[in-house]
Structure 1
Amino acid sequence: MARKHTVFPAEFPESWASDWGEDDFGIFMGFTYKDVRQLFRWIEPGIFLMGASENELERNSDEVQHEVTLTKGFWLADTAVTQALWKAVMGENPSRFKGENYPVENVTWNDTQTFISKLNRMKAELRLCLPTEAQWEYACRAETTTRYAFGNELTKEQANFNASGTVAVANYPANAWGLYDMHGNVWECCQDKYGDYSKHPVVDPLGVNLGFSYGLIDSDRVLRGGSWRSNAKSCRSGTRDYYDPVKREVLDNLGFRLARSHNFPPFRTAKYK
């Protein structure tokens, strides 16, 4: 039986969708560009505990657990951006580990913005962006409170970590909301600057103050999910990392996943309860 929804998207299907439907994971819409299809999952609004409790095994000090309310649902790609989609948009493939259905890597945060801008110019109603860090963790957890979406342990049958390179996307089981590879394969860029969490409940957070001009940005950006290079600890749902948005060193384990926003201002700060 399909997952029941309490908050539906305002429009379904939307004009950009090449296909749509509902399955055991919930509502989906597909976007197709030059014969390359990317599926998006509808993620309902909700409240969750972001970060890790103080007694979680291998917890890091920057994972202060706090309540987060996401007031709006959003669409999130079910996989990281593949090399096939990157090539269709950008005309080249920077990746070290080649494969049409492998995640694109060897890209910077600023590269992701160039890619997103190109797609949005081609089809403005897409309104693509990177997920916020809060959206990413909320979707990764999919209503779980354990170290991973699959429980408190992560096996080699569930994710690509401690490996010799990337593998094709969707090669491992999806989480309860139909999202693949939220643990391992490639670190995934988020919209936010890296900074300390609030100790108080927050609503629709977007990291620290993002008051700057759009363009080349030199503040570290949040990475999530771990990668093929990572140990299991670094693939936990609450693990955070960061990287310079323009630095080009050892990026063969860094990729990204697309999100859609109905009304996404480029930069904003968290509103406190």
Structure 2
Amino acid sequence: MGSNPSRFKGPRRPVERVSWEECQEFAERLNGHVALGSRLPTEAQWEYACRAGTTTSTYTGDVKTVGENNAPGLDAIAWYGGNSGWEYDLEEGEDSSEWPNKQYPHTKAGTRVVGQKRANGWGLYDMLGNVWEWCWDGMRPYTTASVVDPVGPMGISADRVIRGGGWHRDAQDVRAAYHFTYRSDHRAFDLGFRCLSSGK
């Protein structure tokens, strides 16, 4: 792409501070070089991949939150506000000295190298924590009806869903079902993406 917009740079760190619109440009350029049919996953596809056949709040089971930044059950699978600054490895970091109820003491935090935490049952790393991930579609209303591969709003003005939780605080958000939206031009230092391939 010619540049790295991330605040926390490293060859094995997730890209962040990238908008949904920029993700579309990346996928288009990637598909121009390699015919993978790459794009962002829909919200339903993202959750299916995250859960890897499980039905609990995380792919290792339900996790109890004991403080805003303290959910010991997340430690093995996710970087979040309670552990993202523990033995932090970059000089650049967000001041975390005042974050309440941290699982481990730390004074600065940020993204972490991918693949250090336990993968889910399908071998996917960092589905929870580290950076929030953009989804292809907007938020759809949940109903009690059974649906297969549902897709939320796709209009040009639709806000887009983000999933997974991030390194920047809020243990309660780091679970398979949690979601909310941002405008498609939004950027944040805890917001990145993950592509899927349609194999075309």
TM bracket, shorter-chain basis? 0.7 to 0.9
Equivalent in 138, 147, 151 of residue 48 of structure 2: 138
Give the conservation status (yes or no) of the 8 Å contact 1:184–1:230: no
Tell me the alpha carbon deviations over residues 4-28 of structure 1, each in whole angstroms, 9 at most, x when there is no partner. xxxxxxxxxxxxxxxxxxxxxxxxx
TM-score (norm 1): 0.58
Tell me the alpha carbon deviations over residues 149-207 of structure 1, each in whole angstroms, 9 at most, x when there is no partner. 11112332321000321001111110110000111000001111123123311122111
Q: Map 1:216-255 onto structure 2 (within 5 A).
A: 217-248=156-187, 251-255=188-192
Give the conservation status (yes or no) of the 8 Å contact 2:7–2:16: yes
Look up the match of 2:94: none
Give the conservation status (yes or no) of the 8 Å contact 2:161–2:180: yes
Q: Map 1:49-88 onto structure 2 (within 5 A).
A: none
SS of the aligned residue for 1:115 comes to: helix
Unaligned residue ranges in structure 2 (runs of 5+): 64-72, 85-108
Q: Kindly provide the amino acid, as one letter, of the partner of residue 179 in structure 1.
A: L
C-alpha distance in 2, partners of 1:241/1:178? 25
Q: Kindly provide the amino acid, as one letter, of the partner of residue 79 in structure 2.
A: N
Q: Kindly provide the amino acid, as one letter, of the partner of residue 170 in structure 1.
A: G
The farther-off stretch of 235-244 and 103-112 is 235-244
Query: How far off is 1:231 after superposition?
Result: 2.0
Look up the match of 1:260: 197
Give the direction of change, closer, same or farther, for the CA distance of 1:194–1:230 in structure 2 (3 Å limit): farther
Look up the match of 1:106: 17
Look up the match of 1:158: 77
| Match status 1:128 vs 2:38 | yes
SS of the aligned residue for 2:76 comes to: coil
SS of the aligned residue for 1:192 comes to: coil
Q: Kindly provide the amino acid, as one letter, of the partner of residue 232 in structure 1.
A: A
Query: How far off is 1:262 after superposition?
Result: 4.8
TM-score (norm 2): 0.78
More strand by share: 1
Q: Kindly provide the amino acid, as one letter, of the partner of residue 240 in structure 1.
A: H
C-alpha distance in 2, partners of 1:116/1:181? 20
SS of the aligned residue for 1:203 comes to: coil
C-alpha distance in 1, partners of 2:165/2:150? 22
| Match status 1:176 vs 2:121 | yes
Tell me the alpha carbon deviations over residues 130-165 of structure 1, each in whole angstroms, 9 at most, x when there is no partner. 111111111111111111111112332321000321
Query: How far off is 1:102 after superposition?
Result: 0.2
* CA RMSD across the alignment: 1.4
Matched residue count: 165
Query: How far off is 1:253 after superposition?
Result: 0.4
Q: Kindly provide the amino acid, as one letter, of the partner of residue 253 in structure 1.
A: D
**Structure with larger RCO (C-alpha < 8 A, sep 6+):** 2
Equivalent in 193, 196, 199 of residue 138 of structure 2: 193
C-alpha distance in 1, partners of 2:199/2:138? 21
Look up the match of 2:95: none
SS of the aligned residue for 1:198 comes to: coil
